Amino acid sequence: MLASLCRLLGGILLFSAGIAFLRKGLKRKTGARVEAALRKLTPQPAFAVAVGALVTCAMQSSSAVTVIIVGLVDSGVIDVYQAFYIIIGANLGTCLTAYIVAFRTRILGPLALVISASMYLMKERFGRDPAVVFFGLGCILEGVEVTCSALAWLAEIPDILNALVVFGQVPFFGVLAGAVFTGIIQSSSVTTAILVGLVREGLVNLRAAVSLALGSNIGTCATTLIAGLTASPAGRVTAMLHLVFNLAGVIAVLPVFSAFVKIVEIVSPADPGYRLANAHTLFNLMSILVIFPWCRQFVDLVKGRHTWI
């Protein structure tokens, strides 16, 4: 217990330090280069969504991606509209992580730190700012990883798993339980992996597993909200957009939850694990298709509400 708490504190400190270093590097001359690169990569909203999905697939952490996006907005590299397109793409990209969760790699954080050290040693050629950016990125990735591993022991407590199964029988309570559990362990991928195992073992039915998985979409916003606490107003709006988008999608699907589960069963193979992964993907894809034509209006609405609050 004490060791886990120490690791948790270390992960949070590493995570916070990474955000600070990332902002510091981006706010200086590196920011102009990153901004130019992002503008080339995201000339169209649809392409920005694709970039968000692909980056999340590569990093296997939507939390890390959205935290980095908050940092980019906070540094003035991209605006909240660009950020929102990337964030909804990240939601879709994390669905692939659910399919390949067993093959999760932990090399990206250490790799970023190695690149940072190499650039710093060759600072006459690259300058210090790129090294600071990669150092911040490495700290964020490692901070998320350490925090998740420090809290992973919660997922092994039988009483917690039993509570998830019981709450999952009622969609609303299942969503609530999934959100709280994911918010605590700071990883929707871990939640999804646990649910795939439960549903495949017959310990929880597909209906309950889907409600818990929908809740994980809300709970995963906790990391982004924490990052937004010390961000600029634009950064806080970006963090809020992540939460409001996922929350709105879950609220919209709850009234037709039974029909949604039925559609998943029809279009999916018999394996309940794949059905759950497909439900996660279908939910996020439908959310993107519905909101995509109205993204700017949605962002303006959240910006106005956030200012009013």
What is the average per-residue pLDDT within 175-203?
Answer: 75
Token pair belonging to 50: 């694709």
What is the average per-residue pLDDT within 171-189?
Answer: 81
| Separation of alpha carbons 276 and 102, rounded Å | 15
Of these ranges, 39-53, 69-83, 180-194, the one predicted with the greatest mean pLDDT is: 69-83
Lowest mean pLDDT of 30-44, 143-157, 168-182, 219-233, name the range: 30-44
| Separation of alpha carbons 250 and 307, rounded Å | 24
Q: Rounded mean pLDDT of the chain? A: 77
pLDDT digits (tens, 9 = 90+) for 281-309: 899 889 999 988 888 889 988 887 554 44
| Separation of alpha carbons 271 and 122, rounded Å | 52
pLDDT digits (tens, 9 = 90+) for 11-56: 767 766 776 776 677 665 555 554 555 556 555 788 888 888 877 7
The pLDDT of residue 154 is 57
Domain ranges of the chain: 2-308
pLDDT digits (tens, 9 = 90+) for 90-114: 888 877 655 654 344 566 678 888 8
Question: Whole-prediction pTM value?
Answer: 0.69
